[in-house]
Amino acid sequence: MKVKKIFANQIAAETAGLLTEDKVLERIEFPKYPEQGDLAFPCFELAKIFKKNPAFIAKDLAAKITDPYFSEVVSEGPYVNCFLNKKRVSKEILLEIQTKQEAYGSQDIGKGEKVTIDFSSPNIAKPFSMGHLRSTVIGNAYANILEKCGYQPVRINHLGDWGTQFGKLISAYHRWGNEKEVRQDPIKELLKLYVRFHEEAEKDSKLEEEARLWFLKLEQGNERALELWQWFREVSLEEFKGIYKLLNVSFDSYNGEAFYNDKMEETIDLLKEKGLLSTSKEAEVVTLEEHDLPPCLIRKSDGATLYATRDLTAAIYRQKTYQFAKSVYVVGHEQSLHFKQVFLVLEKLGFEWANNLQHLPFGFILQNGKKMSTRKGKVVLLENVLKEAIKMAEKSIEEKNPTLQNKAQVAQDVGIGAIIFQDLKTDPQHSVEFSLEDMLRFEGATGPYVQYTHARACSILQKSNGSAEEPTDGLSDVYSWSVVKKLMDFPTKVKESYEQAKPSEIAVYLLSLCREFNKYYANCKILQEDDQQASRLALVECTAIVIKEGLRLLGIKAPHEM
């Protein structure tokens, strides 16, 4: 934002180099009330540096800062408050958005470097449940944000296609499975077998040992075990891809845990070579006592490998393959210890790039305050939720706009957008209570509200021959200016959502932009023919551009009509 940089540059110049322009930029705020100004700089840090009262520093700075972009600069207690030249700034912002279109808000932070982003990663042979939604939509949105900030994201679906659960499933299939039934409805039948195994294992502990032996056979290349595993993997992936298509999510790689089977020995040899492996209770581990953490298990006493072995191998493979600038793992917060251990082991191996690994944790999707569990069969299938959301959107469209063209496509965009937005408007760290009713509400702080605001802006433009011209003049009324200020803030929000790894920053921003735009729509005669009509329409067009781009970053479509 040009004016923000000018303000920051002038403040930095007055600090005798003690605060850089970038540091000042980070600290500039938007005052809570419009009568306090448009930009504000707190002087507390300068008070510590100069050993002076921050209010005196603010008064001194305010007297020295002038520019044609500023109508007034004043001090208010410890703050330097800047009032912008509304007409000049609004005209420039609107012209900038009209020129850049969807590229508005783009950053060059990444300079084209690659970032691997590991997300979604459902377990094969289990249904794609609501519990998988968070990693999928947070990961997809963050990959889009990385791209917007100049990185080249490599989207990886590290499928859970290996591990002791396959021993359990193979054991269950041999005991109770029916091939015809499994072929008819693979995921449903495999889930039933998986749940039954756990129910029976509670009564008979020998089943767990049988499952361990089947998994060991699978690791050793037993033909029957491999044949069943391959079958389970293929039918699951086919079903998953249908859901990803609905969610508009794609991947560059589906290399899951099994992909690293023939690569792990090299990792274990490397750990031995560096003298990092030790034995604990007959298992091979890397100790992390110096970090006050439990040891990282590498190989169990029976020779079976673990998640850590695979994640170490995957990280090394990804660095060799992609030469990533950083690598992000979008995995629930219950895996925080695991990733701390893996990252520290990679550091101990001497890989400098280990400092560029980031775990992006998130809370659970809860049902009645409890985590959903596949093991106990308490699972809400994501596909069913998506289909029901689309159905409800269709019903709503039929009631409100029965003559709408492309009803089926709009219903899909709205229904799925509602579910994605409900998740992404929540800070990733917080858990989300699953409630179909809340997710599909078509008013308030929801995805359909944002989509409808975009459609409303498009409708206004349609009435004015479909597009807006360049603004003839700036806009200075209170309602227009509130929208301009929000539009001006979009590049900052993109940067913040990247730095904080929070797509929720974009979602919350879109809600506030839509609220300001709807106030503008309710209070201004946009299509009134006068010398400001072109500028008002330019504001509508720019709002539509930014809403559409913001929704795209979240992985949501923006219908032109609803």
Residue 326 confidence class, pLDDT cut points 50, 70, 90: very high
User: Residue 466: its pLDDT value, please?
Assistant: 67
Q: Is residue 122 part of a domain?
A: no
What's the pLDDT tens digit per position in 489-515?
999 999 999 999 999 999 999 999 999
Query: What is the rounded CA–CA span in Å between residue 475 and residue 468?
Result: 15
- 127 pLDDT above the threshold of 70: yes
CATH code where residue 531 lies: 1.10.730.10
Closest to 129 (Cα-Cα) out of 268, 55, 280, 240: 240
- 59 pLDDT above the threshold of 60: yes
Query: What is the rounded CA–CA span in Å between residue 53 and residue 424?
Result: 42
Please, what is the average pLDDT of the chain? 93
Measured CA distances, 137 to 133, 337, 446 (Å): 6, 23, 16
Backbone φ and ψ for 285, nearest 5 degrees, come out as -140, 165
Partners of 378 in beta bridges: 373
What's the pLDDT tens digit per position in 370-403?
776 555 556 678 888 899 999 999 998 999 899 9
Pair of tokens at residue 178: 């029916």
Q: Is residue 406 part of a domain?
A: yes
Sheet holding 277-280, edge to edge: 277-280, 283-286, 296-299
DSSP, res 385: H
- 176 pLDDT above the threshold of 90: yes
User: Residue 376: its pLDDT value, please?
Assistant: 56
- 439 pLDDT above the threshold of 80: no
Q: Is residue 75 part of a domain?
A: yes
Measured CA distances, 196 to 123, 128, 131, 461 (Å): 17, 19, 20, 58
**Reported pTM:** 0.92
Given a contact cutoff of 8 angstroms between Cβ atoms, the answer to whether 191 and 127 are in contact is yes
Given a contact cutoff of 8 angstroms between Cβ atoms, the answer to whether 286 and 276 are in contact is yes
Closest to 157 (Cα-Cα) out of 330, 334, 292: 330
Burial category of 530 from C-beta neighbours within 10 Å (exposed 0-12, middle 13-18, buried 19 and up): exposed
User: Residue 377: its pLDDT value, please?
Assistant: 54
**Residue 20 neighbours by CB distance under 10 Å:** 12
> Helices 307-322 and 336-348: crossing angle, nearest 10°?
60
Please provide the DSSP assignment of 248-277 as one string.
T---SB---GGGGTTTHHHHHHHHHHTT-E
**Residue 51 neighbours by CB distance under 10 Å:** 6
Taking CB atoms within 8 Å and a gap of at least 24, the contacts of 194-200 are 194/125, 194/126, 194/165, 194/168, 194/169, 194/374, 194/375, 195/374, 195/375, 195/376, 195/377, 196/172, 197/168, 197/169, 197/171, 197/172, 198/168, 198/375, 198/376
Backbone φ and ψ for 22, nearest 5 degrees, come out as -65, -40
- 45 pLDDT above the threshold of 70: yes
Taking residues 253-280, report their average pLDDT: 95
User: Residue 188: its pLDDT value, please?
Assistant: 86
Measured CA distances, 184 to 2, 70, 352, 452, 491 (Å): 61, 70, 50, 41, 50
Q: Is residue 498 part of a domain?
A: yes
- Domain boundary (84, 110, 125) is at 84
Which uninterrupted H or E stretch holds 84? Answer: strand 79-84
Q: Which residues, including other chains, have CB under 8 Å from residue 204's CB and lie 6 or more apart?
A: none
- Domain boundary (67, 84, 101) is at 84
Residue 59 structural domain: 2-84
Lowest mean pLDDT among 41-50, 73-82, 122-131, 272-281: 122-131
Measured CA distances, 345 to 289, 290, 340, 351 (Å): 12, 12, 9, 9
Q: Is residue 467 part of a domain?
A: yes
Q: Is 17 left (phi over 0), alpha (psi -120 to 50) or beta?
A: left
Burial category of 108 from C-beta neighbours within 10 Å (exposed 0-12, middle 13-18, buried 19 and up): exposed
**Total domain count, the chain:** 2
- 437 pLDDT above the threshold of 80: no
User: Residue 56: its pLDDT value, please?
Assistant: 96
Given a contact cutoff of 8 angstroms between Cβ atoms, the answer to whether 401 and 562 are in contact is yes
Lowest mean pLDDT among 66-70, 235-239, 410-414, 484-488: 235-239
Q: Is residue 491 part of a domain?
A: yes
- Domain boundary (52, 84, 116) is at 84
DSSP, res 35: G
Tokens 């997710």 sit at which residue? 439
Q: Which residues, including other chains, have CB under 8 Å from residue 441's CB and lie 6 or more apart?
A: 418, 448
Q: Is residue 160 part of a domain?
A: no
Query: What is the rounded CA–CA span in Å between residue 91 and residue 2?
Result: 13
Partners of 299 in beta bridges: 284, 305
Query: What is the rounded CA–CA span in Å between residue 207 and residue 201?
Result: 5
Given a contact cutoff of 8 angstroms between Cβ atoms, the answer to whether 159 and 237 are in contact is yes
CATH code where residue 59 lies: 3.30.1360.70
User: Residue 374: its pLDDT value, please?
Assistant: 52
Q: Is residue 422 part of a domain?
A: yes
DSSP, res 123: B
E-strand spans in 100-226?
A: 114-118, 152-156
- 335 pLDDT above the threshold of 90: yes
